[in-house]
Amino acid sequence: MQFSINLVGKSIFIGAGPGDPELITVKGLRYLKNADVVLYDRLAPAELLSFTKPGAECINVGKEYKGLTVPQSTICEWIVEHALNGKTVVRLKGGDVSFFSNIVDELEACIANNIPFQIVPGVTAANGCAAYAGIPLTARGIASGVRFLTLHQVNSLNNNTWAELAKTSDTLVWYMSGNTLAEIANNLHAHGAKNLPIAVIKKGTTPEQQVWISDIQTIVAHCHLPQFVSPSLVIVGEVVRLHHKYNWIIKNIQTQYKV
């Protein structure tokens, strides 16, 4: 089905995928090519900006972990300003637009100013990075469900939640949690999970992808862990054991680790 949409004076939210520029959708790329203004995240593949039309204004609004960042209020103001000037504004986000992003703030800004908008979903880091690491997020007889979580501060989850997570057979996918790996392992271990395997995928779906494999017991026993550069995704669950069987990435562009 072909939708007929007037793109003048509107905002389009596009998921750019987790790193590999070819993972953007056909629809997302088509709208990107017609944008007058592109507000792009740090994790959106830079190669995609080469597809913008001549004269398009591309503005980096990416956020750095513990670094310089463009305030969310400023991003919302720029979306509104350019759209009200009759321009097609593309908000290009890494991964999918709705997973642990600030899309609600930006959608509310559009609604408050009567700006038409459209949401174009993208490949989120969970399924993109897992696929490029050969880890099925669900597998018959191993895991029938998957949960998407994030942990910036260990106190953000209470003991009851940790206890439930430690007992579930669901795959646990932790976004932006490479720096909280020890806290995740320690809390799951304290609530009964001992031998569950853990994968940390750094710079997933890119030529720099690295996959680090360990388990909760081993991580808890070690005082020093590798420092993972953002973006890093943490996967906890029995499906991680399938990595060694289904890993399809060429070996010379992937390094595997074991504590």
pLDDT in tens, 235-250: 999 999 999 999 998 6
Q: Judge contact between 56 and 38, C-beta under 8 A.
A: yes
Catalytic positions, please? 41, 63
Among 3.40.1440.60, 1.10.340.70, 3.40.1010.10, 3.40.50.1100, name the CATH number for the domain at 10-123. Answer: 3.40.1010.10
pLDDT by residue (tens digit) across 30-77? Answer: 999 999 999 999 999 999 999 999 999 999 998 765 556 889 999 999
Residue 228: exposure state from Cβ atoms within 10 A (0-12, 13-18, ≥19): buried
Model pLDDT for residues 82-110, shown as the tens digit of each residue: 999 999 999 999 999 999 888 999 999 99
- Give me the CATH code for the 126-258 domain, please: 3.30.950.10
Q: What is the pLDDT of residues 124-178, one digit of tens each?
A: 999 999 999 999 999 999 999 999 998 765 457 889 999 999 999 999 999 988 8
Q: Write down the mean pLDDT value for the chain.
A: 90
Query: In the chain, where are the structural domains located?
Result: 10-123, 126-258
Rg (CA), the chain: 20
Q: Is the pTM of this model over 0.85?
A: yes
> DSSP letter string over 141-204?
TTBS-EEEEE-SSGGGS-HHHHHHHHH--SEEEEET-GGGHHHHHHHHHHTT--S-EEEEEEST
